Amino acid sequence: MAHILLDFLFSWVGIGILVPLGIGIGVGVMSCTPPEFQIAKVCFSISALLLVVGVARWLISFNASEGERILFGLIMFGMIGVLWVESWRWVYRKEASLLATQATENVSKTEKSDSPPFSNHPEHNNPVQYKSLHDLFMADFPQTHIHHTLSPDSDKSYVIEYNVWGDFDTKTAFFSFYLPKYDYTFEICESLIPIYKNILNGKIRGLLEGMIYHRPGDREESWAELVFAGRIYIYHETHMLREKIDTLVAAYKKEGLSPQFRSKDYLIMRNSPLYEQR
C-alpha cells in the first residue's frame, strides 16, 4: 500500500496535482493576516522536493546517453533550484516589509502615547518641543552617520534600526541601535553582540571602503580610516530592570564592547527644560 502511494506521489499525475496545490497554498497563506511565512516556505520546499524526485525518477528511466541525461539533469535541477530560492527570497522580502511597517507603527504609537513631560509647564512661555526616543536615536550625536534597518534570522520576529556614526576629528566610529517595544527586549540586546560583529566584519566594512567624507576646506577622508573602539548606544522603548542591564553590560564588556543603554528615564531627562538650560 505504501509503495503504491509513493508511486502516485512521485508520478507525473501526482506531481501535476500536488505541486500546483502546494504553490497555491504557499501563495494563499501569504495573504492571511498576519501572513504565515513559515507555512509558505514549507509549501514551496515540498513542491520543489516533489519536482526533484519526479525528475530524478524520469532521468533514471530516460532512454538516452549518459551525456544527455547529465545535460537534462543539470538544466532541470538548476531550474527547480532557482525557482525554490526565488520563492524563499520572495517570502523574506514580504516578511521584511511587514516587520519594517510594524516598527514604524510602533514608533508612531510611542510618540502618541508618551505625553510630553514638562512641555506644558506654566512657568515656561515657550514650551519645549517634545522628542521621542527614536528622534534622539537619530539626532543625539553631531557626527556624520549611516542609517540601516535589519531583520535578523530568529524564531522571534523583530526589526532593528542602527546608525554608524563617524567622528572624523578623533578618527573613531561607533554604533547606535534602536529597539521598538518588544516583550523580549533583553534577549534582543543579548543577540546584538554577534549582530554587531557580523555587521562590523561584513556589510559595513565593505560599504565604508567606498565612502568619502568631505568637510569644506579640508581634504577628502575615507570612512575606512575610522577605528571602531567598541562603543555602542542602545535605545530601547521597553523598560529593563537594573539587574538585567548589569547582566548585559557584563556580557558586552566580556567581548570588548562598551554599551550605554537609553530608555524612558533618558527620554524624560532629555525633554526636560532643565536639560536645555545646562
∠ CA 161-164-165, nearest 5°, is 130
**Residue 124 — pLDDT band, cuts 50, 70, 90?**
very low
Task: Give first-to-last CA distance, the chain, whole Å.
Answer: 83
pTM above 0.85, yes or no: no
- Rounded Cα distance, 131 and 118, in Å: 12
Cβ 171 vs Cβ 122: under 8 Å? no
User: What is the structure's pLDDT at 148?
Assistant: 74
Q: Region of 256 please: left (phi>0), alpha (psi -120 to 50) or beta.
A: left
Write the pLDDT tens digit of every residue in 73-121.
899 899 998 999 898 888 877 776 776 666 556 555 555 555 555 445 4
Write the pLDDT tens digit of every residue in 168-214.
888 888 999 999 988 889 999 998 898 888 877 776 666 666 677 76
Write the pLDDT tens digit of every residue in 244-269.
999 999 999 999 999 999 999 899 88
